[in-house]
C-alpha cells in the first residue's frame, strides 16, 4: 500500500512539473511573439529605411517633425496617414489636407506593404526616440562594435532548447521506470553518467555540436566580411556636414556635383571650397578657424586634399549614383543616413547585398515627372486604365518588378 501511494505521489508530482514547464514555455513564447509584434528597435529600422528622406524626429524637413506629429494624434489616425496619405486626403480629412498644403503639397509615398504592427513600431519609436550614442571618430557603438545584428540570442535559444530536451528525456525515462516498477517487471540497469558521457553516442553528439558551432561561426563571419557599417576614419580636415549641409543648408549637389550625371558622386576640389572660403576665413570657434587655415594651406600650395574614402563597394559590384539620384529619385539620406546631422561622416548603412536587394524590393518606381520612364508607355497606359476602373487598387511598382534584383544589374 505504501509503495502504491508513493508511486501515485511521484506521478502526481511529475505531472505537475511537466504541466508547469509547459505553461512557462507557452507564456515565454507568447511574450516573445507579443514583443516581436510592436518593437521599438524594429520601428527604428523601418524609420531609417522609409522615413528619413523626408522626415526628422525633431524638426521640419520635407515633411513635419515626426515626434510632435505622432504625439499629437491617435494611433488609428496615424496608421491611415502613414499607409495611404492620398486616400486619407481624398476622404476629406481636414488635418491631412492641412499638413499636405503646409508642406508644399508634396506627395507622401504609399506604404501599403507595411503591416499595422510595423507602422505601430514606427509610431512607438517616433513617439519616444532613444538618446543617440555618441560615436567618435574611428569608434563604433560600444553596445554593438560590429554595427551588425548580434547572433548571441541564437546561441541562447539553442542552449535553452538543449536544456528542455534534456529535462524531457530525463522525465520520460523516470516515468518508464515507474511504469515498469508498477507492473512488477524487471528494471533496466542504470548506466552511470560518467560512463554515458564517455560512450560513442556521446562523442558523436559532441562532434555534432562542435561542427554546428564551428560552421555557424564561420558562415556568420563570412557573411559579415567586408561590411564597414559605422566606419569613421580620421580626415585631413575636420569638415562638418552638420554645419555645411545642416545649418547652412548647402545642397549636397553643390559639392558632389556629379552625383546626378555620373557613376560616382565626386569629391569637391579645393577650388569649390574656396568659392565660399575666399570670404569666410574665420570659423565659429578657434578650432573651426584652424581647420579653415588648413584648407587655405592646401589652396596656396596648389595641393589636393587627400580625403579618406568611407563608402567602399567590392570591385565586382557596379553602382551608379546618377541611376539612383536622377532616375530613382533616391534621397542621399536613404543610403548615407542623416548626413546633415553628422559632425563627422561615418558609414550609416552596411551596403551589403541583402541591404541593397531589400531596398529594391521595397522602393516604388517614381514614374511621375520622370523622363527616363517615358519608354514604358504601355505600362503607363495600363496603370491609368486600372486607376479609372478601381481608384483604390494597389498600383505600387517596385524596382524589383523592373528587374532590380537580377544579377546582371549589379554584377556584369
pLDDT digits (tens, 9 = 90+) for 183-234: 877 777 777 878 888 888 889 989 998 998 899 888 878 777 777 888 999 9
Q: At what angle do helices 270-277 and 286-300 cross, to 10 degrees?
A: 130
Say what percent of the chain tops pLDDT 70: 81
Question: CB-based burial of residue 397 (10 Å sphere; 0-12 exposed, 13-18 middle, 19+ buried)?
Answer: middle
Q: What's the confidence (pLDDT) of residue 5?
A: 43
Q: What's the confidence (pLDDT) of residue 33?
A: 43
The span from the CA of 240 to the CA of 227, in Å, is 24
pLDDT at residue 87 is higher than 60: yes
Mean of pLDDT values over 326-347: 92
Mean of pLDDT values over 360-365: 87
Residue 364: strand pairing partners? 398
pLDDT at residue 25 is higher than 60: no
Question: CB-based burial of residue 189 (10 Å sphere; 0-12 exposed, 13-18 middle, 19+ buried)?
Answer: exposed
Angle at 303 between CA 297 and CA 304, to 5 degrees: 110
**Are 103 and 62 a contacting pair, CB within 8 Å?**
yes
pLDDT at residue 255 is higher than 90: yes
C-alpha cell at 339: 548626413
C-alpha cell at 271: 577650388
Is the Cα torsion angle 39, 108, 355, 259 positive or negative in sign? negative
Query: What does the domain layout of the chain look like in residue ranges?
Result: 40-127, 241-350, 352-412
Half-sphere exposure of 106 (CA within 13 A, CB side): 12
Mean of pLDDT values over 328-346: 92
Angle at 306 between CA 305 and CA 309, to 5 degrees: 125
pLDDT at residue 145 is higher than 50: no
Residue 314 CA, chain-centre distance (Å), reads 21
The span from the CA of 333 to the CA of 115, in Å, is 24
Residue 398: strand pairing partners? 364
**Are 396 and 383 a contacting pair, CB within 8 Å?**
no
Confidence of residue 107 (pLDDT cuts 50, 70, 90): confident
**Are 66 and 351 a contacting pair, CB within 8 Å?**
no
Of the candidates 166, 126, 162, 340, the one whose C-alpha atom is nearest the C-alpha of residue 243 is 340
pLDDT at residue 153 is higher than 80: no
Q: What's the confidence (pLDDT) of residue 32?
A: 43
Helix (H, G, I), strand (E, B) or coil at 398: strand
Mean of pLDDT values over 254-274: 92
pLDDT top residue among 228 and 26:
228
pLDDT top residue among 397 and 4:
397
Is the Cα torsion angle 276, 280, 285, 287 positive or negative in sign? positive
pLDDT top residue among 207 and 383:
207
Q: What's the confidence (pLDDT) of residue 336?
A: 94
The span from the CA of 227 to the CA of 147, in Å, is 9
Q: What's the confidence (pLDDT) of residue 303?
A: 94
Half-sphere exposure of 188 (CA within 13 A, CB side): 8
pLDDT top residue among 185 and 119:
119
pLDDT top residue among 30 and 302:
302
Of the candidates 322, 324, 361, the one whose C-alpha atom is nearest the C-alpha of residue 49 is 361
Q: What's the confidence (pLDDT) of residue 156?
A: 83
Confidence of residue 16 (pLDDT cuts 50, 70, 90): low
What residue has cell string 524637413? 61
Confidence of residue 395 (pLDDT cuts 50, 70, 90): low
pLDDT at residue 2 is higher than 50: no
Mean pLDDT (the chain, rounded): 80
pLDDT at residue 56 is higher than 60: yes
Say what percent of the chain tops pLDDT 90: 26
**Are 300 and 292 a contacting pair, CB within 8 Å?**
no
Is the domain covering 40-127 a CATH 1.10.760.10 domain? yes
C-alpha cell at 306: 587627400
**Hey, what's the torsion of the CAs at 381, 384, 389, 391, to 10 degrees?**
160
pLDDT top residue among 197 and 26:
197
Amino acid at each position: 500500500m505504501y509503495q502504491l501511494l508513493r508511486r501515485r505521489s511521484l506521478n502526481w508530482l511529475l505531472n505537475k512539473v511537466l504541466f508547469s514547464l509547459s505553461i512557462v514555455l507557452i507564456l515565454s513564447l507568447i511574450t516573445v511573439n507579443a514583443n516581436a509584434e510592436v518593437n521599438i528597435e524594429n520601428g527604428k529600422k523601418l524609420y531609417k529605411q522609409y522615413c528619413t528622406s523626408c522626415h526628422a524626429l525633431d524638426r521640419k524637413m520635407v515633411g513635419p517633425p515626426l515626434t510632435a506629429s505622432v504625439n499629437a494624434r491617435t494611433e488609428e489616425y496615424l496608421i491611415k496617414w502613414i499607409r495611404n496619405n492620398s486616400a486619407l486626403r481624398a476622404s476629406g480629412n481636414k488635418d491631412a489636407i492641412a499638413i499636405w498644403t503646409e508642406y508644399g503639397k508634396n506627395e507622401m509615398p504609399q506604404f501599403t506593404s507595411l503591416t499595422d504592427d510595423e507602422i505601430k513600431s514606427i509610431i512607438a519609436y517616433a513617439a519616444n526616440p532613444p538618446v543617440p550614442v555618441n560615436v567618435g571618430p574611428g569608434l563604433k557603438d560600444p553596445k554593438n562594435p560590429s554595427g551588425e545584428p548580434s547572433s548571441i540570442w541564437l546561441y541562447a535559444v539553442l542552449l535553452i532548447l538543449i536544456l528542455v530536451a534534456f529535462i524531457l528525456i530525463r522525465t520520460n525515462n523516470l516515468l518508464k521506470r515507474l511504469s515498469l516498477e508498477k507492473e512488477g517487471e524487471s528494471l533496466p540497469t542504470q548506466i552511470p553518467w560518467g560512463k554515458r558521457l564517455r560512450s560513442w553516442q556521446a562523442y558523436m553528439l559532441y562532434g555534432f555540436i562542435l561542427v554546428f558551432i564551428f560552421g555557424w561561426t564561420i558562415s556568420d563571419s563570412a557573411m559579415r566580411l567586408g561590411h564597414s557599417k559605422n566606419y569613421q576614419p580620421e580626415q585631413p580636415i575636420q569638415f562638418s556636414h552638420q554645419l555645411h549641409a545642416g545649418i547652412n543648408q548647402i545642397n549636397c549637389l553643390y559639392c558632389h556635383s556629379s552625383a546626378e550625371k555620373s557613376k560616382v558622386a565626386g569629391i569637391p576640389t579645393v577650388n569649390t571650397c574656396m568659392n565660399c572660403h575666399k570670404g569666410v576665413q574665420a570659423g565659429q570657434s578657434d578650432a573651426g578657424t584652424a581647420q579653415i587655415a588648413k584648407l587655405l594651406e592646401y589652396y596656396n600650395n596648389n595641393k589636393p586634399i587627400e580625403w579618406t574614402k568611407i563608402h567602399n563597394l567590392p570591385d565586382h559590384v557596379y553602382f551608379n549614383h546618377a541611376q539612383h539620384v536622377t532616375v530613382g529619385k533616391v534621397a542621399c539620406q536613404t543610403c548615407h543616413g542623416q548626413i546633415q546631422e553628422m559632425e563627422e561622416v561615418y558609414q550609416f548603412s552596411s551596403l551589403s547585398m541583402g541591404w541593397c536587394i531589400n531596398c529594391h524590393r521595397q522602393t516604388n518606381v517614381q514614374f511621375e515627372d520622370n523622363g527616363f520612364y517615358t519608354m514604358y508607355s504601355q505600362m503607363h497606359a495600363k496603370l491609368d486604365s486600372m486607376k479609372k476602373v478601381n481608384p483604390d487598387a494597389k498600383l505600387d511598382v517596385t524596382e524589383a518588378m523592373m528587374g532590380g534584383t537580377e544579377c546582371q544589374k549589379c554584377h556584369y
